[in-house]
Structure 1
């Protein structure tokens, strides 16, 4: 896992429109490709305006003709990321030169269909996918080649790049410096396009026809030491080697695409499992709600019938409606009602004293009488409950 300061990265992204989404996108990219590090620097547009943006600067591993090379790049994230596509550049070192193609212009700016068709509403475009597309594209058409230090020294045959020169095998010297955040020179100082628009592809460069592998020597007409069958065998061998090399490149490109698809498939499977779990929970909740609705409807019907029945009956005297099944219960009920009445009488006596309706002597005399009677009633209720076998 890349050793980055997450708190500082969050601080850099605080002014972005979608800081949380951008933080996860950057963290995912640097965790997969540890040659990249985030930096916070000024980006200068063609109109002279500048803006503090976060960029990913470093190298990505590219497989070309069986060898792995570190290609230096810089990915500038717009403050509207991931709504708008990043601006990407190849950053050649002092001993490298840019090889223009339909994907990279002479200034090092990168043009890819993935950037042109950048989509975020369906989650198909992100930094990790962009870097993987760069790796596959640069494995077919390398964007840089190394400047030869000594033209008299022959280059290794397995390191030639189209257009002359050679690319040093992986790993080269550390790039960029790994001392921490910041301190890396901003690139570029001027952009080809104003922010935030993104230009479609420039006019494609003509197919490269420069240096390559030398063709066969002219035939000697079957005379001397080189015969026609020798030339034919040499041509067949050269074609076979070229086809094998091309097949290997295609295999590696397809392998990278397959890994991306497999990773996407795993994410989709996990998402499907989560959705199935949510659907199961929702179905269970729906079933419970249906049962509760049915139960409430039944209760509502019972209440409607009870209301209708009561509305059709004559009014009932409350005192007549309350009847007891035994004389003991009737005595208990009467004692309880009288004790409650005494409680209310004592309360209103206190209110009368507070309002000055009666004096203190009258209040004390009446309260003493009522309290004594209340005590006797409570004792009677206790005995009745004991006789009836009720809780005391």
Structure 2
């Protein structure tokens, strides 16, 4: 048994995540002093032994208004917290395991929290809290029948009662071993008190309520009366019905949650479809308007073509008329200057292609440039006279 942080750190020397595992162990032992840190060999199903650290002791569980100690053993893998711990219920010799969907006949614990273990979100403290809640609904142990016919106080906690938390502890008792569950050398030392004092006998017998070895409280006669059997049967039936109702409720609740999620998804899909349909309607309206506008333009174009085709041919030179002689002079000078510009361009192309000689090119370009300069000067004077921008 580790007594301080230094011993635990030394035991965790071979663990891959020493600091993280140490923090979790110290956090658990500070919240649940009934758990103690031990080191022992764990035997896997294939017979392979491995020296591991374990949390061994009791956790307090509330059942029907009272607090009870449940003995558990939590083995921490050397890869903790990357892999889930291996957990067992360890009843005392006067106790038996209550097999359920959470505990098998060997005492091994199966919880969704262990199955869905996530090293980023799961830890030992959360695991123990889940155990407390689960065992508070389905206790994992019950008392064995006793043969002593002596008067003793009797409680009525149903078919799964166990020892209340805080009674006077008796000397330590060695826990039984299970297949795949190694014997602990540290248990023989009896370093911490067991959670089930032998003086408390308020446990029902397992299974048959009419067993000859069952003990009654009516005067210590060692017999069970009909009313006791009736009360026990009613209690067992009530517990079974409650568990069945809870299972049905959880199943229906899960189906209802699924249906609600489906409804939310359908509502979101409907909203998206409404937005898409509204966009399509808007685009359809715009398309109809554009089609109507194009048809009107097409009709106007057809009428213009028909009108032009019925008219007489137009002389291009007479198509543009000016309102004053000054404007006509300006227009003629602009047209002639543009023609000279084109002539100079084509002279350059002729020189490049070798059609004309350089002397001919220079002489012609000089003549055309002189005319172009005179026309540009004329256009500038005309624009000044007409009051136009130069």
When normalised by structure 2's length, the TM-score is: 0.44
Rg comparison, structure with higher value = 2
